[in-house]
Amino acid sequence: MLALAFWFICSAAVGLFANALGRSGATWILFSLILSPSLGLIVVAVLDKKRARSARAIEAEVAATASA
C-alpha cells in the first residue's frame, strides 16, 4: 500500500514539474501512472521548455514572412 502511495505522489510531482515547464500536467501524471514516474521525469526533463509566444511575436513573424 505504501508503494502505491509513493507511486501516486511521484507521478503527481512529475505532473507539477511538467506544468512548471509549460506542458500539460494532467497528461504527464497519466503517463507517469501508466509507465513509471522515473521514466516520466526523464522524458519531461529532456524535452525543451515550452514557450508561450505572445501575440506581438506572432504578428512580427507573420509580417516578416509576408514581406519576404
Q: What is the pLDDT of residue 66?
A: 75
Q: Any idea what DSSP says for residue 35? A: S
Model confidence at 42, pLDDT cuts 50, 70, 90, reads very high
Please give the full DSSP string across 13-30, using - where no structure is assigned.
HHHHHHHHTTS-HHHHHH
Whether 62 has a pLDDT exceeding 70, the answer reads yes
What is the domain extent for residue 10?
2-67
Angle, CA 20 vertex, CA 19 and CA 25 arms, to 5°: 10
Residues 6 or more apart in contact with residue 68 via CB below 8 angstroms: none
Give the total number of structural domains in the chain: 1
Quickly count: other Cβ atoms within 10 Å of residue 21's Cβ: 16
Is the Cβ–Cβ distance between 37 and 10 less than 8 Å? yes
